[in-house]
Copies of this chain bind each other. A is one copy, B any other.
Amino acid sequence: MTTVLLAGAFGKMGQRITAMIQASDDLEIVAAFSPVGGTSPDFPVFTKYADIDVQADVWMDMTTPAGAKANGEFALAHGFDTVIGTSGLTADEQQALGNLAQANGQHLLMVPNFSISAVLLMQFAAKAAAYFPDAEVLEYHHEDKLDAPSGTARATAQIIAANRKAKPRTPESDAAARGDRIDGVQVHAVRLPGFNASEEVIFGAPGEALTIRQDSFDRSSFMAGVHLAIASVNGLPDALTIGLDTLL
């Protein structure tokens, strides 16, 4: 049984994580940390670091970037292996926390994307790119998403570029309809109500195509990845691990 202290337990994701842990056989929530308050019949809720008198195998942090930075510094200095679920920390901030984990003999797992299907898509894209240099990335999100392309699409394009072994057959083009070009890979962003978050990679070669698509319909899709992260962080080989990639 892995015991968990959950920071951010009363946000939208925090509530789902609480329910997921409570429904699991191998995880147990023993406390929450929430400066803005909140109560639970099942575990104590601390609002200040100084009050925390419970130890846990894992500090699971689902807060803001600022909260994650401060919480991570506290947790790693106080005996908690830590999972941080935000993509908002800079590379320098991540490294600083990693150094702290190293110095304290703890493990830190930073997870920008808990979707297992998204991580598998990127792994499969890396492998396929070695055989299919011609590839384009499409992502589909709800109409309110402000940035385009998505961070996952951008990362996927970079992964494809890094794993290509041959020059693509498709010539470059400046036509607006050809979308964005990231490391030499065309990326297209669709924005439509009804969609939540989907990503697709299409590889083409003479006479054939290979398509990998991942759909996240709602937040429940992240729970399997959160479970995996919490269950794995104690046994990680390194002090700092970024992403679920090495766990899959």
Interface pair A193/B188, CB less than 8 Å apart: no
Known interface pairs A143-B169, A173-B191, A194-B217; A208-B128 also in contact (CB < 8 Å): no
A55 within 8 A of B: no
Q: Which residues of B contact A203 (CB under 8 A)?
A: 117, 192
Interface pair B215/A213, CB less than 8 Å apart: no
Residue among B192, B202, B216 making CB contact with A190, cutoff 8 Å: B202
Interface pair B186/A173, CB less than 8 Å apart: no
Binds B, one of A1-9, A76-84, A97-105, A174-182: A174-182
A152 CB to nearest chain B CB (Å): 12
Q: Which residues of B contact A176 (CB under 8 A)?
A: 176, 179-181
How many residues of chain A are within 8 Å of chain B by beta carbon?
68
Interface pair B209/A215, CB less than 8 Å apart: yes
Q: Which residues of B contact A224 (CB under 8 A)?
A: 131, 205-206
A147 CA to B171 CA in the complex, in Å?
Answer: 12
Interface pair B128/A120, CB less than 8 Å apart: yes
Q: Which residues of B contact A138 (CB under 8 A)?
A: 138, 188, 190
